[in-house]
Structure formats: structure tokens, C-alpha cells
Structure 1
Amino acid sequence: MTPNILILAAGSSSRMRGADKLLEVVEGAPLLRRVAGVALATGCPVTLVLAADRPARRAALDGLDVASVTATEATEGMAASLVAGVQSLPEGSAVLLLLSDLPLIDTPDLTAVIAASAADPACVWRGADPDGTPGHPVLFPADLRGELLGLTGDEGARWVLARHAARVRLVTLPQGHATTDLDTPEAWAAWRAGGTAP
């Protein structure tokens, strides 16, 4: 079954000191638009969870065939955004959870995770670096929808991953694709300079 891709993009970007990391330009486009385009290229339905107070993010998606949900309780933590997004998806569908601040993620990464799930849909499939460090995306089977909807606070889906650790399988992605996220101006500057982001 084709999963629904859910992109969480309602965070405050607070460590950017006034800038918005999701609007940083990567490969000629705002990061948020680039990640949405990468997701669309899989052929899967794509939904983004956005914050009401970030109109520039919505504008960055103009013209893309994506659905969007407003996370009215986004300030309560990542779980609120995740729950708002999952509630909007069809019941019975698997969910490919993707963070919006991964500048290296690409369509082959997502299709690799989707293909792994197609071969063994009972598992939770998670992108990882070659050294085994887990990251994103994470594909949750449909039977875990109820647990995702029960999340609270700022833990995201970690609780569900921990509870079902025996079902988690890693998909090795190119170095940094699953784990590189840039939360500060210094991290962005270091990354663009080709160094290691702090």
C-alpha cells in the first residue's frame, strides 16, 4: 500500500535568532519547498503540517500539489503537530514521517524506505547513516496510527519507536542524509562552507 508522506513544518525555528531555517535556500529553493518536492517525486500523497503564524512557509509551497494542515496547538510541542497531521490522513494508511529541516534528504532516500516497507510492511522502517545512527524518514505501519494519535508533549514519535523497538528496521542512506539538520545560523554557515555543522 502506498504510504502517505507527512512533513512536519510547524516548528518555531527559535534557535535561528529571527531567521527561519525552513526558508534557507538549498539547491536554489527554500528548504521547505525542496523537501516537499523531494516527497512529491515519490508519487505518494504529501501532507504538510504548518503553523498559523508562518505565512511565508505556506507561500513557499505555492504551486505544489500538496495538502496542508494547520497545527493550532504547535506551541505545545512536536506531538501536537504530528497528531494534527495524522488525523488528517486516511485511516488504514501507512505514514512516512519526514522532518522538514533535512537539507540532504532526496527522493531516492524516500523510495528506498518505501521499497523496504513494501517488502515487509509489518516493520517500522527508519532511515539511518552508514554507521547505524538512526534518523529520518520513519515509515509507520497503519496499525500504529492509534499510538501516534495518542502522543503528547515534545517527544515526537520516540515513544512509539521505543515501544516497538523489536519491529524497527534501519535503511542505510548516504552519509548525513538521515541525520543532518541545521538549527542555528552557525550550523548553516559551517555546512555551506563544507565543514562540520556544530
Structure 2
Amino acid sequence: MNIAILILAAGGSSRMKATKQLLPIDNNTMLGLTIERALNSKANKVFCVLGANSEEVSKSIAGYNVKVILNSEFEKGLSSSIIKGIESIKPYSFNAVLITLADQPNVDTEYINTLIDTSIKHSQHIIASNYSGAYGVPAIFPSKFFDQLMQLKGDKGAKVFLNSNLETVIAVEAKDQLIDIDTREDYLNYLKNT
């Protein structure tokens, strides 16, 4: 099975008041850590959507074997990054795409591989992370859903799409993987607990 990983890292980090993608974690940056874990997974290729501060962020990840996609419309929300990403990966004929965020530092390679293994067993289903009963990303979408993903709007990203297609979703229990780092307080709490 040919799977791409699409890391969404285009946001302007307005609540953080700093370039979130470049925050230091474990001798790396938040985005660098996300990319490393993706590259170490069973996926075939890693793509990263950048937008805000793209020049600076792009330089910070230049050493990684990842294809950068620029989203000049990142201010329109997460959906714009998903659309840009799907447009860019379509020509590669992937069977599925794993969409993940750059600000979930607890999503490790093992968890990514669990999602991929589940997708291999259930290749026609969406594989989503279970946030105590609601579904979200990281999630894997088979290619038959690509056109629908390209119709998304606003800042909810794939969440609304996932939760309105429940009959096609297989959920993977995520435990503590799904902490989002949105504020300075989130970041400091994360550092304190790792």
C-alpha cells in the first residue's frame, strides 16, 4: 500500500505569539520532530504544507527528505492546507494519505504505524484518531475520498468531514497522543511533563 503523510504546518500561531513550528523540543523543533517521526514510519513519502513564516520554517527543515508545499492562502484555515496538499499529492497515485498536524508532539512513529497498519487491513475505510468519542487527525483517508477533502472549507479541517462520515470510519484509541500545542501555556506544560 502506497501511503503519503501530509503534515499541516502553515498556521500563523496567533495564540502562541511565536513561530510555533520552530519551538525547541528535544534538541529539535516541533516541526522537525514531527517530520522525523513521519520519515521513520512505514509511509512512502512525506509532504509538509507551509504558509506563515514559510521562508524561515523552510530553512529549518531543509535537511529532511520531505516535499514542501506552499499554501499562500493559509489564513483561510486548515482546510486550505488540506486542499493544497491533496492537489499536490494527487499526481503521485497514492492509495491513501495520512493527515497530521505539526503541533501534536506526542504523535510518535509507533502511533503513526498503528494507523498505517490499521489502514492496510481496512483499505476502504477512513482510519481516524478517537478523541474521547469524537474523531480527528491524525487520520488516514483512502484516495477515493480525495475529491471530497478538496471541498472542505474553513478552519475545522477534516474534523467535520470525519464526524459526518462515521459509517466509513474505523477509530484508533489515541490516549495521550492528541495534545495540541496552541498557547505558550500548552507548550510549557508539555515541556514540564516530558
TM-score by length of 2: 0.91
Which shows bigger deviation, 57-66 or 43-52? 43-52
User: What one-letter code is carried by the residue in structure 1 that aligns with 2:146?
Assistant: R
2:123 aligned partner: 121
Partner of 2:53: 53
Q: 1:98 aligns with which of 97, 100, 103?
A: 100
**Partner SS, residue 149 of structure 2:** helix
Q: Does 1:147 align with 2:164?
A: no
Task: Indicate conservation of the 8 Å contact 2:54/2:70, yes or no.
Answer: no
**Could you report, residue by residue, the CA deviation over 1:51-104 in whole angstroms, capped at 9, with x for unpaired residues?**
163322111212110001100111111111110001000245311001111111
Residues 49, 69 of structure 1: 8 Å contact kept: yes
Give the structure 2 partner of residue 9 of structure 1. 9
Superposed, which structure 2 residues align to 1:155-174 within 5 Å?
A: 155-173=156-174
Instruction: Give the counterpart letter for 1:163 in structure 2.
Output: S
Length-normalised TM-score, structure 1: 0.89
* Aligned-residue offset at 1:133: 5.6
* Residue 113 of structure 2 corresponds to residue 108 of structure 1: no
Partner of 1:187: 186
Q: Read off the aligned partner of 2:190 and give its amino acid letter.
A: W
CA apart distance, 1:139: 0.2
Alpha-carbon distance in structure 1 between the residues aligned to 2:176 and 2:60: 25
Which whole-Å deviations, capped at 9, do the CAs of 1:128-175 have from their partners, x for residues lacking one? Answer: 36x5564431000110000011112222112321331111111123x3
- Identical positions, percent: 30
Paired residues of 1:5 and 1:39 also in contact (CA < 8 A): yes
4+ residue runs over 6 A deviation: none
Taking the aligned partners of 1:189 and 1:162, their CA distance within structure 2 comes to: 31
Question: For residues 115 and 171 of structure 1, what CA distance do their matches in structure 2 show?
Answer: 11
Partner letter of residue 108 of structure 1?
A: E
Gaps of 5+ in 2: none
CA RMSD of aligned residues (A): 1.8
2:125 partner amino acid: C
Structure 2 distance, partners of 1:92, 1:190, is 37
Gaps of 5+ in 1: none
Superposition deviation, residue 34 in structure 1? 0.7
Are the structure 2 counterparts of residues 62 and 91 from structure 1 closer, same or farther at C-alpha, using a change threshold of 3 Å? Answer: same
- Equivalent residues of 1:52, 1:70 under 8 A apart: no
- Classify the secondary structure of the residue corresponding to 2:157: coil
